[in-house]
C-alpha cells in the first residue's frame, strides 16, 4: 500500500513538473516586452510622377511665360538604410497559441540618390520638349506602429504589419533642365540645388525570425509615399548665348516607392 502511494505521488510530481516546464517553454517562446534597437537596408524603385517647370524668358518687348509639364520614367532604382528605436508591449493572447504583440517605433531613414527625368512638352508648343533631371536624396523621420503575430505554425517565424507617418526632407542637387533646341544649356545653371519638406506615409509587411531571446532578424516589404513638393531654381544665366530668364519653379507631384529590406532588432 505504501509503495502504491509512493508511486502515485511520484507520478503526480512528474506530471506537475512536466506541465510547469511546458508552460515555461511557451512563456519563453512568446516572451516580449521592452526596448529594442535595430537597423535595416534595402533596395527599391520610385514610381513615375509628374514634374512641372514654370518661369519666363525676358524678351525686348516683355516676358514670354514658359510652362512645361510631363511624367518621369516609370521606374527609377534607389536604396535605403535606416535605424530604429522601438518598444515591444506585452503580448495579447487572442486564442490559444495565437499572440499579438503591439510595437511603437521611431525610425530614421536615408534614401540614396536617384535621378528621375521628366519628359515635358513646353507651352508655347514651338519650344518643343523640355527634359528635366532631378538627382534626389531623401531623409525620413518616421513614427511607426506595428503588430507582431505568433501563430500555432511557428514560434520563431513571426509575421508582422506596420504603418508609419512622419516628415520627408527632400534635397535636389545638380538639377538639369535641357532642351534639344538649345544644346549645352542648363536652364537652372545659376542655382541647380533646392530642397523641400513634406508629409511621408508608409506601410510595412514582413516576417521576424527569432534567433534568440534578444535578437531578431527581419525581412519586409514597404510602400512609401511622399506628398507633392515645390522647388525654386536659379535663372538661366548664359550671357550672349541665351536670353535671361526669371528664376524657375519646379513642382514635383506625389512620390511613391516600393522597397524590399532586411535587418535586425536587438531587445534590451
- Per residue in 30-66, pLDDT (tens digit) is 455 799 999 999 999 999 999 999 999 999 889 999 9
Does residue 127 surpass a pLDDT of 70? yes
Does residue 11 surpass a pLDDT of 90? no
Residue of 125, 105, 109 lying closest to 44 (CA atoms): 109
Where is 35: in which H helix or E strand? strand 34-47
Instruction: State the pLDDT at residue 13.
Output: 38
Does 2 or 203 have the greater pLDDT score? 203
Average pLDDT over residues 146-162: 94
Average pLDDT over residues 183-212: 97
Helix (H, G, I), strand (E, B) or coil at 69: strand
Is the previous residue joined to 124 through a cis bond, with omega within 30 degrees of 0? yes
Instruction: State the pLDDT at residue 98.
Output: 86
Does residue 114 surpass a pLDDT of 50? yes
Residue of 186, 168, 260, 181 lying closest to 220 (CA atoms): 260
Average pLDDT over residues 224-245: 96
Chain CA centroid to CA 153, Å: 30
CB within 8 Å of 92: residues ≥ 6 apart:
99, 100, 101, 102
Confidence label for 15 from pLDDT (cuts 50, 70 and 90): very low
Does residue 240 surpass a pLDDT of 70? yes
Helix (H, G, I), strand (E, B) or coil at 52: strand
* Cα gap 168→142, rounded to integer Å: 9
Helix (H, G, I), strand (E, B) or coil at 61: coil
Chain CA centroid to CA 22, Å: 41
Which pairs from 210-217 meet CB under 8 Å and 24+ separation? Answer: 210/155, 210/156, 210/157, 210/158, 213/28, 213/31, 213/267, 214/266, 214/267, 214/268, 215/264, 215/265, 215/266, 215/267, 216/36, 216/264, 216/265, 216/266, 216/267, 217/262, 217/263, 217/264
Question: Roughly how many angstroms between the first and final C-alpha of the chain, as a whole number?
Answer: 54
Where is 175: in which H helix or E strand? none
% the chain with pLDDT above 90: 79
Beta strands in 72-128 (DSSP E): 75-88, 92-95, 98-114, 117-123
pLDDT tens digits for range 206-230 = 999 999 989 999 999 999 999 999 9
**Contact by Cβ (8 Å): 69, 120:** yes
Does residue 91 surpass a pLDDT of 70? yes
pLDDT averaged over every residue in the chain: 89
> What would the grid cell of residue 32 be?
516580449
Average pLDDT over residues 236-258: 96
Where is 143: in which H helix or E strand? strand 136-150
* Cα gap 227→244, rounded to integer Å: 32
Which is it for the CA torsion 145, 147, 163, 171, positive or negative? positive
Amino acid at each position: 500500500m505504501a509503495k502504491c502511494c509512493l508511486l502515485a505521488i511520484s507520478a503526480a510530481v512528474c506530471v506537475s513538473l512536466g506541465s510547469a516546464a511546458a508552460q515555461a517553454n511557451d512563456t519563453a517562446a512568446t516572451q516580449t516586452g521592452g526596448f529594442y534597437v535595430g537597423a535595416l537596408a534595402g533596395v527599391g524603385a520610385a514610381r513615375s510622377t509628374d514634374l512641372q517647370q514654370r518661369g519666363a524668358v525676358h524678351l525686348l518687348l516683355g516676358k514670354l511665360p514658359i510652362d512645361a509639364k510631363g511624367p518621369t520614367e516609370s521606374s527609377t532604382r534607389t536604396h535605403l538604410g535606416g535605424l530604429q528605436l522601438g518598444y515591444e508591449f506585452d503580448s495579447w493572447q487572442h486564442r490559444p497559441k495565437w499572440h499579438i504583440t503591439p510595437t511603437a517605433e521611431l525610425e530614421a531613414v536615408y534614401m540614396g540618390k536617384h535621378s528621375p527625368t521628366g519628359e515635358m512638352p513646353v507651352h508655347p508648343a514651338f519650344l518643343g520638349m523640355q527634359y528635366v533631371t532631378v538627382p534626389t536624396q531623401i531623409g525620413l523621420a518616421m513614427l511607426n506602429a506595428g503588430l507582431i503575430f505568433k501563430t500555432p505554425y511557428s514560434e520563431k517565424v513571426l509575421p508582422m504589419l506596420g504603418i508609419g507617418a512622419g516628415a520627408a526632407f527632400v534635397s535636389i542637387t545638380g538639377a538639369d533642365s535641357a532642351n534639344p533646341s538649345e544644346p549645352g544649356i542648363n536652364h537652372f545653371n545659376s542655382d541647380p540645388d533646392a530642397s523641400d519638406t513634406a508629409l511621408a506615409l508608409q506601410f510595412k509587411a514582413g516576417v521576424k525570425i527569432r534567433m534568440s531571446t534578444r535578437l531578431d532578424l527581419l525581412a519586409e516589404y514597404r510602400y512609401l509615399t511622399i506628398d507633392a513638393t515645390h522647388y525654386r531654381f536659379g535663372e538661366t544665366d548664359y550671357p550672349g548665348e541665351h536670353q535671361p530668364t526669371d528664376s524657375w519653379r519646379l513642382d514635383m507631384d506625389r512620390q511613391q516607392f516600393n522597397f524590399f529590406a532586411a535587418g535586425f532588432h536587438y531587445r534590451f
